[in-house]
Amino acid sequence: MLWNRFAQDRDALDLYAHPRFDPADGVIEEQEAADAVASITGRSHAIVKAKAESFFLEHCAVDVNPKCWFGANFAGRVPKYVRGPNWAMNRLKGKWLKELTEGKPIEKTMEAMSERFAGAGAHGPDHEHWVPDWDAALSLGFPGLRRRAREYRAQFSSLTPAQEDYFDAIEIVLTSCIRFTERLAAQAEERIAEDERMPLRVRCLRQLASGAPRDIYEALQFIYLFHLIGQFIEVAQVRSLGDIDRLLLPYYLRDLYRGAYTREQVKELFQYFFLLYDFQNHKYNQPVSVGGVDIFGNPAFTDLTDVILDAYFDAELSNLKIHIFVNENTPDPVLRKAMDMIRRGRGSFVFMNTDIGAQAMEKVYHRPIAPHMLGSQGCYNFNVKGFPQHANQTRINLVKAVELAFFEGTDPLSGHFVGVKTKPAEEMASFADFKAAFDRQMDSLTEQNLAISDFYDSVMAVINPCPLFSSTFAFSLREGRDCFTFGPTSVLMMGLGTAADCLMMVKKHVFDQRDCTLAELREALRADWQGHEPLRLLMEKDPDKYGNDLEEPDAFAVHLSEDMIRRVRGRKNCRGSEYICHFETIDRCFRSGSVTGATPDGRHAHAPFSKNLNAAFGQDRRGVTSMMISACKLDTTLMPIGAPVDFMLHPSAAQGEEGLDAMVQLLRTFLRLGGYALQGNVLDADILREAQKHPERYRNLQVRVSGWNWNFVDMSKEYQDVFIQQAEAAR
Tell me if 255 is assigned to some domain.
Answer: yes
Helices (H), 70-215: 85-101, 105-112, 134-154, 161-190, 198-210
Instruction: Indicate whether 673 and 728 sit together in one domain.
Output: no
Q: For residues 656 and 697, state if they share a domain.
A: no
- Whether residue 356 is contained in a domain is answered as yes
What is the pLDDT, as a whole number, of residue 82?
A: 43
CA distance 395 to 440: 18
pLDDT of residue 701: 78
Domain presence at residue 123: no
Q: Residue 46: inside a domain, yes or no? A: no
At 81 the pLDDT is 38
Beta strands in 399-547 (DSSP E): 489-494
What pLDDT was estimated at residue 644? 96
Alpha-carbon distance values, 157 to 44, 147, 599, 670 (Å): 22, 18, 62, 53
Q: Does residue 600 belong to any structural domain of this protein?
A: no
Residue 112 lies in a domain: no
Judge whether 153 lies within some domain: no
CB contact burial 306-326 (16+ within 10 A = b; e otherwise): bbbbbbbbbbebbbbbbbbbb
Q: Where are the alpha helices (DSSP H) in 344-413?
A: 354-365, 398-406
Beta-strand relationship, 374-377 and 381-384: antiparallel
How far apart (Å, rounded) are the C-alpha atoms in residues 378 and 239? 5
User: Within 13 Å of residue 355, how many CA atoms lie on the same side as its CB?
Assistant: 14
Structural contact between residues 706 and 587, judged by C-beta atoms closer than 8 angstroms? yes
What count of Cα atoms within 13 Å lies in the side-chain half-sphere of residue 367? Answer: 4
Same domain, 674 and 727: no
Helix, strand, coil share (%) of the chain residues, nearest 5: 55, 10, 35
What are the φ/ψ torsions at residue 580 (nearest 5 degrees)?
A: -135, 170
Greatest pairwise CA separation for the chain in angstroms: 84
For the chain, which residues score pLDDT lower than 50? 79-82
Position 76 scores a pLDDT of 67
Report in angstroms the alpha-carbon separations of 375 from 155, 292, 662: 30, 10, 28
In eight-state DSSP terms, residue 385 is T
- The per-residue pLDDT for range 337-394, each reduced to its tens digit, is 999 999 998 889 999 999 999 999 999 999 999 999 999 999 999 999 999 999 999 9
pLDDT at res. 525: 98
* CA dist., res. 694 & res. 118, Å (int): 36
d(CA 195, CA 420): 68
Looking at this protein, which amino acid is placed at residue 564? Answer: M
Please, are residues 382 and 326 in contact by the beta-carbon 8 Å criterion? no
Domain span holding position 687: 683-731
Please report the pLDDT score of residue 706 as a whole number. 67
**Residue pair 654/682 in contact by the 8 Å Cβ criterion:** yes
| Residue 268 covered by a domain | yes
Give CA separation, 292 vs 296, 351, 358, 371, 585, in Å: 11, 10, 11, 7, 25
H-only helix segments in 60-131: 85-101, 105-112
State whether 371 and 303 are in the same domain: yes
**Residues 270, 373: Cα–Cα separation, whole Å:** 25
How many domains is the chain built from? 2
Q: How many CB atoms lie within 10 A of CB 158?
A: 6
Using a cut of 0.85, tell me whether the model's pTM lies above it.
Answer: yes
* Cα–Cα nearest to 197, from 116, 112, 272, 302: 272
Q: Are residues 286 and 355 in the same domain?
A: yes
579-583 and 489-494 beta bridge pairing: parallel
Whole-number pLDDT of residue 712? 82
Which pLDDT score is estimated for 83? 53
